[in-house]
């Protein structure tokens, strides 16, 4: 394979720290895998090399690419035991091998949500939206741990400090009582262990002599502090990333770490991969016009290895309907020209924009794949709740409450004043649970009703069981409350409920219904390869498409109202930069004049891009 001069410098780098600034489409994965190959050819033992990235999918992709370049005729699986993994998987491996924790100690995302919800209910904390509060406070807890901020010094954004303090302290108590750690604790516990046990730290320093990190711009403080410990004393740390594509500040990513990397490692070799092999010149030019407006960044001069291409199509429409009708015709014309539908992507700022867009496109015979609504009727939402109630009713007498995943899933649908931590205790059953709560009349009544409801459901046929869950259990009322919490219309949820009701009437027994629901779920989750993609700008990170269409590019959406209000545009600008650089040959940027009958303003990023 032929490399350009900058790529060759990166591939051939061996000792000491290096920072590779990798612009969009610059071949960073190829550089990382070929550098690993070069290290091995130079005599470095594969076991001594660690390659870290942020997602399991990216780690698997990197590993497969590495194996493909190392294979040849005589390659045997296992001949090159390089460690590829995410920060969490590698750091948990270190914790696990130290004997501190096992897989069962890790708290799932769902368990985390359940614990927060229960704390809010138990402590009777008033929140405007339970859903928003849970998502925000989980993010803020992660930020505290990921960036090593003392809780007492933290100023929460989601609520008053006193509320946050109560939830945080109760959350940590729940985790300690169940000997659980969340995903952010994996990092924090690993750091504390390595920092405090010098002998153990030196052992892992000997194991991982060469460390390569992909997407370094997304790193947080604790991830970085562990890397610094592991890299000592040789400091063979090779970081690859693009500060212009740092878009996860809301998850605790700290782009300043990359910007300050040369202060920590003064001997670092800086290498700029500035050739874009993905996009046409006109698209690269537009993206450069945009991103140069950011102040906190490394200066780069990105050039395209491709031809001029079409000038990006920037248009303004009167309404969103006009905009989407144009998009429909534009997509159809390109498909007729031979562009595969899955090489076309519609990008939006928020998931909430997707349902309306999907409906209009489908009405105009454009088949769409993607977004949170792309699921089977029993894969999530209402369908999963109903089937979980049925399965819980069928199994609660024979399975310990703490091992009954379906029962735990519906425990607070509607809310019941019972701690998930208590119900999950070993050998727990309803008799013991009622004994524990015998001095709490409100909780005791909830437990008795739940047991009665499950018993009733188990005796009914599918249609009657559905009606009992809807009315007798109070699930329909729960959906109405849930819709208010999430600030969404309850009509869509009730449509899902009606779909499930119709489906339930097709079966004679609960067992038959559950089995068929599982088959349907599997079938409907199969991805349609011949559909046009629709996704958020965040979801598009790391992907590329022949045609990218960005819709609803208005102030208040991109950049968000919050960013406009606080005059904080840099991360929003980076996000728009990520969106436009997904396009290979054709880019459409569309804005509107009116939304819901009100005048709106085109995004500031449009003018910046087309200067």
**Per-residue pLDDT at 371:** 53
Q: 326-365 pLDDT, tens per residue? A: 999 999 999 999 999 999 999 999 988 888 888 888 888 8
323 pLDDT higher than 70: yes
**Once rounded to an integer, what is the mean pLDDT over residues 251-275?**
92
**Per-residue pLDDT at 28:** 92
**Per-residue pLDDT at 372:** 46
**Per-residue pLDDT at 76:** 47
**Per-residue pLDDT at 236:** 97
Confidence of residue 528 (pLDDT cuts 50, 70, 90): low
Confidence of residue 83 (pLDDT cuts 50, 70, 90): very high
- CA dist., res. 311 & res. 243, Å (int): 26
Owner of token pair 């190392």: 70
**Once rounded to an integer, what is the mean pLDDT over residues 55-64?**
87
| Cβ atoms of 541 and 578 closer than 8 Å | yes
Q: 11-21 pLDDT, tens per residue? A: 999 899 999 99
Sequence-ordered list of residues with C-beta below 8 angstroms from that of 16, at least 6 positions apart, any chain: 234, 235, 236, 267, 268, 269
Q: Which tokens sit at 58? A: 């990216």
Alpha carbon 300 to its chain's center: 28
- CA dist., res. 120 & res. 479, Å (int): 18
Confidence of residue 374 (pLDDT cuts 50, 70, 90): very low
Q: How many residues make up the chain in this entry?
A: 611
592 pLDDT higher than 90: yes
- Residues of the chain above pLDDT 70, percent: 94
**Per-residue pLDDT at 71:** 74
| Cβ atoms of 140 and 157 closer than 8 Å | yes
- CA dist., res. 84 & res. 327, Å (int): 41
Answering whether pTM is above 0.85, one says no
Confidence of residue 421 (pLDDT cuts 50, 70, 90): low
Q: 543-591 pLDDT, tens per residue? A: 999 999 999 999 999 999 988 998 889 999 999 999 999 999 999 999 9
63 pLDDT higher than 80: yes
**Once rounded to an integer, what is the mean pLDDT over residues 526-534?**
71
Confidence of residue 492 (pLDDT cuts 50, 70, 90): confident
Sequence-ordered list of residues with C-beta below 8 angstroms from that of 397, at least 6 positions apart, any chain: none
Give me the chain's average pLDDT, please: 88
Task: State the burial class of residue 18 (Cβ atoms within 10 Å of its Cβ: 0-12, 13-18, 19+).
Answer: buried
């Amino acid at each position: 394979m032929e490399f350009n001069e900058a790529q060759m410098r990166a591939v051939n780098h061996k000792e000491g720290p290096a920072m590779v600034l990798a612009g969009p489409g610059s071949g960073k994965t190829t550089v990382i895998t070929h550098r690993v190959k070069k290290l091995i050819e130079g005599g470095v033992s594969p076991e001594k090399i660690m390659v870290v990235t942020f997602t399991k999918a990216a780690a698997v992709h990197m590993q497969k690419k590495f194996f493909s370049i190392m294979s040849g005729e005589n390659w045997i699986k296992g001949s090159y035991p390089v460690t590829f993994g995410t920060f969490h998987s590698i750091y948990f491996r270190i914790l696990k091998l130290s004997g501190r924790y096992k897989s069962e100690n890790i708290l799932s995302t769902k368990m985390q949500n359940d614990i927060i919800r229960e704390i809010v209910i138990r402590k009777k904390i008033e929140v405007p939206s339970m859903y928003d509060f849970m998502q925000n406070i989980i993010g803020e807890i992660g930020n505290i741990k990921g960036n090593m901020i003392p809780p007492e010094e933290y100023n929460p954004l989601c609520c008053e400090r006193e509320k946050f303090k109560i939830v945080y302290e109760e959350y940590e108590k729940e985790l300690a009582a169940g000997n659980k750690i969340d995903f952010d604790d994996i990092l924090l516990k690993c750091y504390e262990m390595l920092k405090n046990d010098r002998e153990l730290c030196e052992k892992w320093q000997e194991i991982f002599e060469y460390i390569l990190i992909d997407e370094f711009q997304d790193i947080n403080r604790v991830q970085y502090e562990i890397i610094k410990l592991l890299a000592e004393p040789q400091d063979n740390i090779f970081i690859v990333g693009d500060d212009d594509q740092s878009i996860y500040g809301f998850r605790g990513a700290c782009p300043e770490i990359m910007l300050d990397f040369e202060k920590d490692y003064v001997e670092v070799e800086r290498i700029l991969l500035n050739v874009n092999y993905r996009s046409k010149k006109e698209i690269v030019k537009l993206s450069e016009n945009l991103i140069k407006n950011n102040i906190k960044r490394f200066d780069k001069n990105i050039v395209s290895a491709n031809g001029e291409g079409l000038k990006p199509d920037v248009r303004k429409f009167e309404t969103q309907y006009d905009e989407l009708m144009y998009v429909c015709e534009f997509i159809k014309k390109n498909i007729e020209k031979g562009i595969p539908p899955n090489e076309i992507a519609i990008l939006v700022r928020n998931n909430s924009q997707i349902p309306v867009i999907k409906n209009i496109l489908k009405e105009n015979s454009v088949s769409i794949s993607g977004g949170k609504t792309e699921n089977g009727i029993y894969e999530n939402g209402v369908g999963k709740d109903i089937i979980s109630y049925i399965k819980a009713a069928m199994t609660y007498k024979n399975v310990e409450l703490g091992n009954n995943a379906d029962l735990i899933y519906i425990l607070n649908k509607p809310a019941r004043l019972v701690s998930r931590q208590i119900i999950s205790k070993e050998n727990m059953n309803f008799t013991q649970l009622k004994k524990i709560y015998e001095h709490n009349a409100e909780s005791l009544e909830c437990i008795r009703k739940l047991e009665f409801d499950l018993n009733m459901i188990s005796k009914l046929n599918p249609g009657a069981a559905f009606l009992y869950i809807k009315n007798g259990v109070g699930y329909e009322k729960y959906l109405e409350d849930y819709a208010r919490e999430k600030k969404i219309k309850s009509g869509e949820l009730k449509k899902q409920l009606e779909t499930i009701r119709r489906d339930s009437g097709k079966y004679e027994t609960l067992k038959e219904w559950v089995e068929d629901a599982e088959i349907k779920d599997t079938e409907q989750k199969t991805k349609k390869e011949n559909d046009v993609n629709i996704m958020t700008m965040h979801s598009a990170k790391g992907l590329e498409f022949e045609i990218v269409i960005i819709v609803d590019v208005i102030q208040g959406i991109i950049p968000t109202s919050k960013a406009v209000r606080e005059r904080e545009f840099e991360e929003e600008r980076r996000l728009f930069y990520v969106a436009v650089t997904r396009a290979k040959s054709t880019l459409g940027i569309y804005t509107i004049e009116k939304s819901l009958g009100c005048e709106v303003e085109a995004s500031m990023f449009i003018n910046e891009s087309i200067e």
